[in-house]
Structures are given as structure tokens and as C-alpha cells.
Amino acid sequence: MKHTNKWIAFLIAIIMILTAGIGALAEELTDQTTAEAGETSAKAFEIKGATVEKANEGPYYSNYVSIGDSCGSGLGLPQYVSLSKQRKQRWIACEKIEGSYPTLVAKAVGATNFGQYHFPGARTADIRYLLDEHYYADWVLLGQAMYLSNGVVSKANLDSYRDQVIADIRNADLITIDVGINDVWLPVIAAIYDIAEKGRILERQLTIPELVAEYGSIATVVDNAASFVRAWTNPLTWPGNILKLTDALIKWVIDYQVNTTAIMNRIRQLNPKATVVVCGLYNPVYHWDLIPFSGDHFFEHILQPYYSALNLKKRADALFYWGDARYVPMDDIELFSDGFAIPLFEFTIEDGGTIGYNPHPTLEGAKQQAKNILNALGVPLG
């Protein structure tokens, strides 16, 4: 028995020595590989850097894709307003708008291939549908989304972009994902408008932006409110109406939690090697006062814990992502609506004015967004 114990001790000692040796060798090889990779990366960066508009002092990303809602679309910026007027369409999608944070990031990282796929009014469910042909289109996308966004967010439009977006993601070195702010309220608004359809005297032929352009914001709101009330005068519609509102509230609570993770999983499935930047949600009522011009920022403080909780989920998505993902907070971003406004689609404006509801970043706000992203990447804005 004693001899057996000695042999066991001897074997354990040999195994420990071999393990230590292999560990040291692996560490040495890792350091050597890292150094060689750094040299190779630096050389590639040096060669590529000569051909891009801005000098790159950080990592070089030749293929950049930005995906999301209107927060990164450039809505309200000069070029956006100009294109909107030229096309006679209030909302436009998937345009490289000068001064928006995706274009600033693209220049800073020296991207030679750049796709800006931002859909004003999009929810996480819509972006998930865009990226995954096997995911179903829900009743919001099949119904009110088209009317609220003037056709920008619709099943047909997302279908038309899917192949291009997926191909660009597969080839991307850098991907920014910025979506979720519309999940907070759009399903409830869509449910209200769905119910209002049952109470309309005449069948609606125009989208919300078209109605506003034709009759004005106040008249459109009054008509929608009156139609909603009339829809409840028929008791036979009550079960359907209650079910619709209940489903909207459930979507409000659940969709965001499920879809942000599903979107990250889909991106990894398409391209596991890309660097993914998860953009946090800014507070859309930033600097909104209860007492005008008092500086109390009442509405901002009331809603901030809710947006902080939503951002905690995004932070977790980045933390547990099986790859290179970084969460980037978007706090205190300068917005066009820097004070109380009526937060309804009927009062939303697409230009850079301060009268009306435009919860989108100004030129300075877009620079803040870009700086936050580039800081996470270790790249200067320039």
C-alpha cells in the first residue's frame, strides 16, 4: 500500500510539472501570436490609412453597418430635411445623412463600405423581422406601422431591404445596433388607432403624416380621438378592444426584453467575428420641465429610471454576447425638443425647428453619440 501511494504521488508530481510546462509554453505562444497579430494589424492599418479621408489612430474597420430606428437616421438634420422636401415625404429611411452619428463614425474608422439602415418608427420587433426571414410580422407591423411611418416601416419595405442588410452584416467588421425607444409607446398607440378605425365614419385613405399635411395636427388628433370614443359605443366591440389593448401592454413589457437578445443572437449567427456596438437609449424627454422654464426637469427625472432599466438589459446583452460586443451609454444627448412638447405622431416634425415634437439628436447631439461610440472603440472623432 505504501508503494502504491508513492507511485501515485510520483505520477501527480510528473503531471503537475508537465502542466506547468505546457501552460508556460502556451502563454509564450499566445504572447508571440498577439504581438505578431498587432504588427500585422498595424501594417494593414498603415496601408489602408493612406486611402481614407481621415487619419486612423485606432482600429481600422473597412466595412461598417449601422442598424436601427430614427435615433441614428439623422431625422431633423439639414440634409434629411432637404431630402424630405425634395421627395415630399416626411420620413425617409436608409439614407447616409451628413452629420448623423453613423456617417461620423464611418469617417472616423475609415470605412470604405458603409450601410446606414435606420427606419424611423421601427421597434425591436421590426428590426428582428428585418434580420430574420423566419420571424413573423406582428399585428403592429401588418397594420398601423405603415400608417404611422408613412410607409417607411412596413412588411413590404423591410422585405425589400432584408437581403441587402444581411449581406452587408455578413461582410461587416463593425456593426452598431440602435433600437428600442419606440417599443415604449408605439404598440399602445397602434392599438388605440386600430380601435379608432372601428369608429370612423369614413374609411381612412391617408396615413397619419398625410392627414396632418391635409388637415393639420389638431384636426387629426380630434378626429382620431372622436373615432376612438365612437368605437366603444358598440358593446359588441368591447371584448376585441380590451383584448387589443391588453396585447399592446403585454408587447410593451415583453417585446423589448425578448427581441434585443434575439437580435444580438441573429447578428452573431450572421457574423460572429464582427465588433458589435450596442447603443443605449437616451431619454427622449431630456430637460422637459413641469413648470415651464423652471429648470425642474420633472419629466426627465420621472422617466429616467425606466430608461435606465431598459439600458440595463442592453448592457446585459453586450456583456453575455459570445463575441466582441460593447455597450455604449447615450446619456445627456442634445435633442431638438429641449422642452415640453405633445408626444404624439400628429405633432411630430421632421425639420430642425423647436416647435413641435422632435425627440432626435441635433448636429451637436449626433457628435455626442459618435464620440461615445468611438471612445468605446478607441478611435478619435477627429
**Phi-psi domain of 269 (left: phi exceeds 0; alpha: psi -120 through 50; beta: other):** alpha
H or E element, residue 27:
helix 2-49
Shared domain check, 326 and 184: yes
Please state the φ and ψ torsions of residue 116, each to the nearest 5 degrees.
Answer: -115, 95
> Which residue type occupies 180?
G
Indicate the DSSP class of residue 63. E
Which one-letter DSSP state was computed for residue 295?
Answer: -
The conformation of residue 256, written as its DSSP 8-state character, comes to: H
Pairing of strands 325-328, 113-118: unpaired
Copy the grid coordinates of residue 101.
452619428
CA distance linking residue 177 with residue 157, whole number of Å: 19
For residue 35, being part of any structural domain is answered with yes
Instruction: Tell me if 141 sits within 8 A of 124, measured CB to CB.
Output: no
Do 184 and 309 lie in one domain? The reply is: yes
Task: Please list the ranges in the chain whose pLDDT falls under 50.
Answer: 1-56
Contact 370, 101 (CB under 8 A): yes
Q: Residue 276 and residue 323: Cα distance in Å, rounded?
A: 8
Whether 335 and 229 map to the same domain: the answer is yes
What grid cell was written down for 374?
468611438
Task: For residues 313 and 358, state if they share a domain.
Answer: yes
Same domain? 223 vs 278: yes
150 belongs to a structural domain? yes
- Here the CATH number for the domain that contains residue 348 is 3.40.50.1110
**Tally of domains within the chain:** 2
Does 174 share its domain with 98?
A: yes
Evaluate whether residue 57 is within a structural domain: no
For residues 120 and 349, the answer to whether their CB atoms sit within 8 Å is: no
* 3-state percent helix, strand, coil for the chain, nearest multiple of 5: 55, 10, 35
Q: Is residue 58 situated within a structural domain? A: no
Same domain, 208 and 84: yes
Q: Specify whether the CB–CB gap between 195 and 128 falls below 8 A.
A: no
Q: What pLDDT score was predicted for residue 299?
A: 73
Q: Is residue 250 part of a domain?
A: yes
Both 70 and 6 in one domain: the answer is: no
382 inside domain: no
Query: How much is the pLDDT for 347?
Result: 66
C-alpha cell at 173: 467588421
Q: Within this chain, do residues 164 and 212 fall inside the same structural domain, yes or no?
A: yes
What residue numbers bound the domain in which 4 lies?
A: 1-51
Strand 113-118's sheet: what is its strand order? 113-118, 63-68, 174-178, 275-279, 325-328
Q: What is the pLDDT of residues 1-14, one digit of tens each?
A: 444 444 434 443 44
Residue burial 190-212, b: 16+ Cβ < 10 Å; e: rest: bbbbbbbbbbeeeebeebbbbbb
pLDDT, tens only, 103-136:
999 999 999 999 999 999 999 999 999 999 999 9
On whether both 5 and 154 belong to a single domain, the answer is no
**In this structure, are 25 and 140 located in the same domain?**
no
* Same-domain status, 128 and 27: no
Please indicate, yes or no, if residue 56 is contained in any of the structural domains: no
Q: What secondary structure letter does DSSP report for 361? A: B
Residue whose grid cell is 470605412: 111
List, in order, residues 6 or more apart from 165 with CB less than 8 Å away.
65, 67, 115, 117, 130, 131
CA 312 to CA 112: how far, in whole Å? Answer: 33
| 257 assigned to some structural domain | yes
For helices 155-171 and 238-270, what crossing angle results, to 10°? 20
The residue type found at 249 is L
